[in-house]
């Protein structure tokens, strides 16, 4: 067989390969700076049909027979894709729990993908495994203060919540019925299992319920108070009802930072309910977990240390590029409920010699070295700077809420517990028209590329939402957006066609 030279396509000892790597990385940086981060507007304004046309025109074939020159490719990607991306770094892009990523984390991303370590087994990720464990140890200390605690990085809140509910279910069935779910599947009593969470909990609680074979019927949504926190009276009543109906409540899910309102359930009170009823206590702190870094707001998480498991996301208020999250567990022995030994990855003899194969704690196999970017960010900024950024966005939300509250043309829904503000344009309109106008306002702002807000529904009615994660957003930006909202709202009101 004739040897061929493919080596220029990979980064290696070859000079030509190093030059090509540096060239494409430089070109990618240039595209990001020129077509993205320095954009004045948060979006170009193209709608999905226009994007479709543009894409078909630029990229006629997905797999051309012969290569496209890399300069051409980079320029097309920049002009077409990057230029028409949602500019998450722009101060007027404040729709979702979708943060601007820190530059140092972007550098870390280049190292994560460049080294391409896989976190499933130690022999694929030597030093990376040790660093992930080090970061996890810090997280478990910060959140759980328990020597038996452990954790693992995940793709985000969806996966972390799923893991929490999975372990909760399997431990419950084991303790209560000596049932091994891993081997035996669900027992006949499974239809009686119940998950308690507030009605403002993340939809992935329901999703996990059906993925776990319990069906959405297993989820009992508890009423929330005027601050969108779980209502303890309703919880107590529902727990009594469940007992009377001979149901099996096995997990209580608290939310620390609900997606719409950023509200935080009363964690300590919920922990004591969970304990009394022998339920697993899972805290979904995907959004609110970042408050752990803040001297001013850490207290809002009081009681989180009582969690049996905790979800934290770093691609939200920790300013990390997607994806980056963690699942934390108070008692590491509960990882045994998902343990599998594969001879080729994590054989039992590795366990005997102490070689850590992180796949044992994960429901992913091949897995990215995402802890590196969090680690480099924490190192590079230091805790205080993180805390200042988080505190700033919390204050920004408070001031924004005050501004909205004082304005007769607007209606504020929530005094923000964190940094999400929900409101709507009202002025002199009423009835169904209010919903239409608010929906139109949001669409119009995106079409003009002027601002990206989110929408949500509160008691069936349409509202606008500002998720103020970006510490570069100023009150000046907020006033600009609010004036635009009122201007567009006023125009529709008088045109009368909405
Ligand atoms: C974002 C979020 C999730 C889902 O997390 P992903 O990282 O998007 O998978 C779950 N719970 C809460 C409260 C969230 O805000």
Sketch out the chain's domains with CATH numbers.
Answer: 7-85 (1.20.1650), 118-368 (3.40.640.10), 382-495 (3.90.1150.10)
Count the neighbouring beta carbons within 10 Å of the beta carbon of residue 299: 9
pLDDT of 266 higher than 90? yes
What mean pLDDT comes out for the span 319-336? 97
Pocket test for ligand 1, best of 288, 313, 368, 456 (most atoms within 8 A of CB): 313
For all residues of the chain together, what is the average pLDDT? 96
Q: Quick one: average pLDDT of 270-299? A: 98
Select the more confidently predicted residue: 188 or 496.
188
- Number of helices (H), then strands (E), belonging to the chain: the values are 14, 11
- Long-range contacts of residues 138-141, Cβ cutoff 8 Å, at least 24 apart: 139/312, 139/326, 139/328, 140/328
Other CB atoms within 10 A of residue 42 CB: 22
- Compute the distance between CA of residue 72 and CA of residue 85 in angstroms, rounded to an integer: 19
Pocket residue to mutate for ligand 1, from 163, 199, 204, most atoms within 8 A of Cβ: 204
**Distances from the Cα of 439 to the Cα of 39, 41, 96, 448, 497, angstroms:** 26, 21, 16, 15, 13
Question: What is the rounded distance in angstroms from the CA atom of residue 423 to the CA atom of residue 412?
Answer: 4
Mean local confidence (pLDDT), 281-297: 98
Whole-number Å distance between alpha carbons of 259 and 288: 9
Measured in Å, residue 248 CA sits from the centre of ligand 1 at 26
Per-residue confidence band for 347, with pLDDT thresholds at 50, 70 and 90: confident
Q: What pLDDT shows up at residue 497?
A: 53
Nearest residue to 462 (alpha-carbon basis) of 481, 482, 489: 489
Task: Select, from the ranges 209-213, 339-343, 432-436, the one with the highest average predicted confidence (pLDDT).
Answer: 209-213
pLDDT of residue 493: 83
Query: Could you tell me the pLDDT band of residue 112, with boundaries at 50, 70 and 90?
Result: very high
- Backbone φ and ψ of 255, nearest 5°: -110, 125
Model confidence at 496, in pLDDT bands (50, 70, 90)?
A: low
| Residue 313 and residue 139 in contact, taking contact as beta carbons nearer than 8 Å | no
Ligand 1, atom 4: closest residue by C-alpha: 157
Q: Mind listing the pLDDT tens digit for each residue in 16-52?
A: 999 999 999 999 999 999 999 988 999 999 999 999 9
Rounded Cα gap, residues 284 and 97, in angstroms: 14
Residue nearest to atom 7 of ligand 1 (CA): 156
Phi, psi of 11 (to 5 degrees): -85, 120
Mutation choice for ligand 1 from 164, 202, 265, 321, CB with most ligand atoms inside 8 A:
202
**Of 343 and 93, more confident:** 93
- Whether the pTM exceeds 0.85: the reply is yes
């Amino acid at each position: 067989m004739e040897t061929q030279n493919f080596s220029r396509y990979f980064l290696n000892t070859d000079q030509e390969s190093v030059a090509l790597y540096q060239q494409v990385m430089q070109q990618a940086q240039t595209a990001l700076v020129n077509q993205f981060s320095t954009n004045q507007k948060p979006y170009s304004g193209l709608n999905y049909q226009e994007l479709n046309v543009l894409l078909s025109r630029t990229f006629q074939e997905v797999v051309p027979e012969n290569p496209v020159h890399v300069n051409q490719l980079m320029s097309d990607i920049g002009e077409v894709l990057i230029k028409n991306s949602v500019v998450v770094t722009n101060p007027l892009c404040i729709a979702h729990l979708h943060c601007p990523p820190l530059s140092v984390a972007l550098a870390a991303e280049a190292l994560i993908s460049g080294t391409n370590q896989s976190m499933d087994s130690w022999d694929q990720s030597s030093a990376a495994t040790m660093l992930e464990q080090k970061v996890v140890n810090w997280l478990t200390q910060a959140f759980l203060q328990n020597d038996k605690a452990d954790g693992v990085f995940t793709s985000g809140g969806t996966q972390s919540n799923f893991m929490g509910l999975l372990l909760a279910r399997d431990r419950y069935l084991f303790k209560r019925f000596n049932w091994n779910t891993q081997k035996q599947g669900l027992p006949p009593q499974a239809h009686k299992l119940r998950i308690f969470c507030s009605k403002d909990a993340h939809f992935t609680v329901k999703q996990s319920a059906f993925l776990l074979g319990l069906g959405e019927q297993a989820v009992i949504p508890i009423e929330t108070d005027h601050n969108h926190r779980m209502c303890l009276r309703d919880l107590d009543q529902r727990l009594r009802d469940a007992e009377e109906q001979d149901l099996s409540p096995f997990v209580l899910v608290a939310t620390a930072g609900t997606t719409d309102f950023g509200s935080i359930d009363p964690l300590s009170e919920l922990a004591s309910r969970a304990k009394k009823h022998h339920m697993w206590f899972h805290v979904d702190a995907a959004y609110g977990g970042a408050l752990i870094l803040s001297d001013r707001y850490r207290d809002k998480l009081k009681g989180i240390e009582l969690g049996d498991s905790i979800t934290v996301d770093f691609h939200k208020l920790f300013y990390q590029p997607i994806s980056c999250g963690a699942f934390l567990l108070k008692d590491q022995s509960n990882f045994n409920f998902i343990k599998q030994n594969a001879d080729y990855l994590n054989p039992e003899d590795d366990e005997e010699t102490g070689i850590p194969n992180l796949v044992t704690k994960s429901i992913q196999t091949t897995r990215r070295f995402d802890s590196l970017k969090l680690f480099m960010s924490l190192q590079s900024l230091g805790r205080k700077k993180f805390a200042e950024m988080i505190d700033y966005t919390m204050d920004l939300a408070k001031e924004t809420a005050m501004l909205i509250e004082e304005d007769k043309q607007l209606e504020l829904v929530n005094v923000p517990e964190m940094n999400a503000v929900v409101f709507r344009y009202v002025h002199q309109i009423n009835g169904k028209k209010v919903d239409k106008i608010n929906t139109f306002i949001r669409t119009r702002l995106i079409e003009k590329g002027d601002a990206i807000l989110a929408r949500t529904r509160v008691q069936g009615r349409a509202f606008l939402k500002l998720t103020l994660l970006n510490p570069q957003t100023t009150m000046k930006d907020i006033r600009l957006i609010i004036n635009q909202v009122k201007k567009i709202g006023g125009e529709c009101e008088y045109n009368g066609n909405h």
